[in-house]
Chain A
Amino acid sequence: MKSNEMIKQNKQKIGIYGGLVTCLIIFTVLPPLRGQSLWTVSKLSTLMSDVIVLALLSIGAVFIYSLGNIDISVGKQVGIYSTIIVALGNTTDSLLPGILLCIVIALVIAVINGSAGDLLNIHPIISSLVFMMVLGGVSSITYTQLGTRNISLRTVDYSIFKNPLFMFLVLVIEFIVIGYFFNYTKFGKYAKAIGANQQVAKQCGIHIIKYKIISYIFFAITIVTASLFQMGYTGSASDSTGTGFEMNVMVALILGGMPLSGGMKSKVIYALIGSLTYSLLNIGLPLLGVEPNQVFIIKAIIFLIVVLLTSRKKYGVLPR
Chain B
Amino acid sequence: MERIMNIFKRVMASIALPLVMFLVMLWATHAAGKTYYGTWPMWRTLIISCTAMITTAFGIGIQFKSGRFDFSGGGIMLMAAIIAGRVAEANNNSMLIFVGLSLLVCISLSLLVATVYVFGRLPIIIATIGMALFFESLTTLIYDGEGINLVANLALKKVGTYPTVLIPLFFSIAIYGFYSRFTVVGKQAVLLTNNQQASVNIGIDEKKNVFITYLYSGILYGIATTIFASAGIQKAAFTSMSTVGSLFSNILPVFIGLMLVAYCGDTIGIVLGSLTLSLMSFGLSAIFSAEMGSSISIIITGLFIFGINVFSAQGKHLLEYLKTGILKRRQVD
- Does A pair with B? yes
A-side residues, CB < 8 A to B, are 120-123, 126-127, 129-134, 136-138, 140-141, 144, 243-244, 247-248, 250-251, 254, 260-261, 293-294, 296-297, 299-301, 303-304, 307-308, 311, 313-320
Given A141-B295, A320-B68, output 10 extra A-B contacts at Cβ < 8 Å.
Answer: A120-B314, A133-B305, A144-B295, A254-B126, A300-B134, A307-B126, A315-B121, A316-B200, A318-B207, A320-B123
Q: How far is the CB of B249 from chain A (nearest CB, A)?
A: 9
Contact between chains at A296 and B136 (CB < 8 Å): yes
Q: What are the residues of chain B within 8 A of A121 when measuring CB–CB?
A: 313-314
Q: How far is the CB of A280 from chain B (nearest CB, A)?
A: 15
Q: How far is the CB of A303 from chain B (nearest CB, A)?
A: 5
Interface residue from B137, B210, B298, B305 paired with A140 (Cβ < 8 Å): B298
Closest to B248 in A: A129
Query: Is B178 close to A, CB under 8 A?
Result: no
Contact between chains at B238 and A293 (CB < 8 Å): yes
Q: What are the residues of chain B within 8 A of A297 when measuring CB–CB?
A: 134, 137-138, 140-141
Q: How far is the CB of B213 from chain A (nearest CB, A)?
A: 12
Q: How far is the CB of A296 from chain B (nearest CB, A)?
A: 4
Q: Known contacts being A247-B240, A311-B122, is A129 close to B210, with CB within 8 Å?
A: no
Distance, CA A251 to CA B126, complexed state (A)? 9
Query: Is B285 close to A, CB under 8 A?
Result: no
Contact between chains at B125 and A260 (CB < 8 Å): yes
Q: What are the residues of chain B within 8 A of A130 when measuring CB–CB?
A: 302-303, 305-306
**Listed A/B pairs (25) with beta-carbon separation below 8 Å:** A120-B309, A120-B313, A126-B306, A126-B309, A132-B302, A137-B297, A137-B298, A141-B299, A144-B292, A243-B239, A244-B239, A244-B241, A244-B242, A244-B245, A247-B129, A254-B129, A293-B140, A299-B133, A299-B240, A300-B133, A304-B116, A304-B130, A307-B127, A315-B121, A320-B67
Dominant secondary structure of chain B at its interface with chain A: helix
Contact between chains at B129 and A319 (CB < 8 Å): no
Query: Is B91 close to A, CB under 8 A?
Result: no
Closest 9 CB pairs of A and B: A133-B302, A247-B241, A137-B299, A296-B137, A297-B137, A140-B295, A300-B133, A137-B298, A293-B140
Q: What are the residues of chain B within 8 A of A303 when measuring CB–CB?
A: 130, 133
Query: Is B145 close to A, CB under 8 A?
Result: yes
Q: Known contacts being A308-B122, A318-B207, is A137 close to B302, with CB within 8 Å?
A: yes
Q: What are the residues of chain B within 8 A of A129 when measuring CB–CB?
A: 248, 302, 305
Contact between chains at A316 and B136 (CB < 8 Å): no
Q: How far is the CB of B266 from chain A (nearest CB, A)?
A: 17
Q: What are the residues of chain B within 8 A of A134 when measuring CB–CB?
A: 298-299, 302-303
Interface residue from A120, A123, A251, A320 paired with B133 (Cβ < 8 Å): A251
> By CB atoms of chain B within 10 A, which of A141, A144, A296 has the most?
A296
Interface residue from A131, A140, A251, A304 paired with B134 (Cβ < 8 Å): A304
Contact between chains at A317 and B313 (CB < 8 Å): no
Q: How far is the CB of A246 from chain B (nearest CB, A)?
A: 8
Contact between chains at B121 and A313 (CB < 8 Å): yes
Distance, CA A293 to CA B197, complexed state (A)? 43
Query: Is B228 close to A, CB under 8 A?
Result: no
Interface residue from B140, B291, B305, B314 paired with A296 (Cβ < 8 Å): B140
Dominant secondary structure of chain A at its interface with chain B: helix
Distance, CA A34 to CA B254, complexed state (A)? 52
Distance, CA A311 to CA B137, complexed state (A)? 22
Query: Is B120 close to A, CB under 8 A?
Result: yes
Interface residues of B in 112-155 (CB under 8 A from A): 116-118, 120-127, 129-131, 133-134, 136-138, 140-141, 145
Contact between chains at A318 and B133 (CB < 8 Å): no
Contact between chains at A136 and B298 (CB < 8 Å): yes
Distance, CA A225 to CA B309, complexed state (A)? 32
Contact between chains at A311 and B134 (CB < 8 Å): no
Distance, CA A285 to CA B301, complexed state (A)? 41
Query: Is B244 close to A, CB under 8 A?
Result: yes
Distance, CA A299 to CA B207, complexed state (A)? 28
Contact between chains at A318 and B206 (CB < 8 Å): yes
Q: How far is the CB of A271 from chain B (nearest CB, A)?
A: 16
Closest to A70 in B: B125
Contact between chains at A311 and B121 (CB < 8 Å): yes
Query: Is B310 close to A, CB under 8 A?
Result: yes
Q: Known contacts being A133-B298, A250-B129, A254-B126, is A296 close to B206, with CB within 8 Å?
A: no
Closest to A240 in B: B239
Contact between chains at B239 and A122 (CB < 8 Å): no
Distance, CA A300 to CA B127, complexed state (A)? 11
Distance, CA A138 to CA B117, complexed state (A)? 37
Distance, CA A131 to CA B305, complexed state (A)? 11
Q: How far is the CB of A156 from chain B (nearest CB, A)?
A: 28
Q: How far is the CB of A15 from chain B (nearest CB, A)?
A: 13
Closest to B312 in A: A122
Query: Is B16 close to A, CB under 8 A?
Result: no
